[in-house]
Copies of this chain bind each other. A is one copy, B any other.
């Protein structure tokens, strides 16, 4: 699939040019979370953003166009992630899942947190006992419709 090849090219170019995702995101003018997600093939950019990305990563016009297409989402290619960093997030669903469900429903009623009208922020919290990763998930609550 062509989109996969564009992603591969971007990753290789980033390595060769010693770029950081944060720096690329700044040039493109959106958050580092959303831009990284898009460059790794999971979000669709507009043409202006794709053009900046094309300049940074030396993409052809056809390759840049792929960045603007809504991708077939789902990056892992496996149901349970084997990567240690990603598995920990999966483990949280297994361990905290029922509590998350219980508390969101207690505070909001029957519905879900949208994964579409959604933003994410990843930050570093300095701590003498060891720095901490702080991931903030922010999604619109969508109540189940009655009819």
Contacts and interface: CB of A to CB of B under 8 A. Distances in A.
Interface of A: 1-2, 8, 11-12, 15-16, 20-22, 30-34, 36-37, 40-44, 62, 65-66, 69-70, 72-76, 78-120, 122, 124-125, 127, 129-147
Contacts of A110: 43-44, 70
Contacts of A140: 127, 129-133
Contacts of A104: 85, 122, 133
Nearest to A120: B96
A135 B119 CA distance: 11
Given A16-B62, A137-B137, A144-B44, A112 B88 contact: yes
Contacts of A99: 21, 33, 36-37, 40, 42
A138 B81 CA distance: 20
A83 B75 contact: no
Contact of A2 (B12, B120, B125): B12
A131 B112 CA distance: 11
Given A84-B91, A84-B112, A89-B113, 6 more contacts: A40-B99, A79-B79, A80-B80, A85-B111, A108-B131, A118-B145
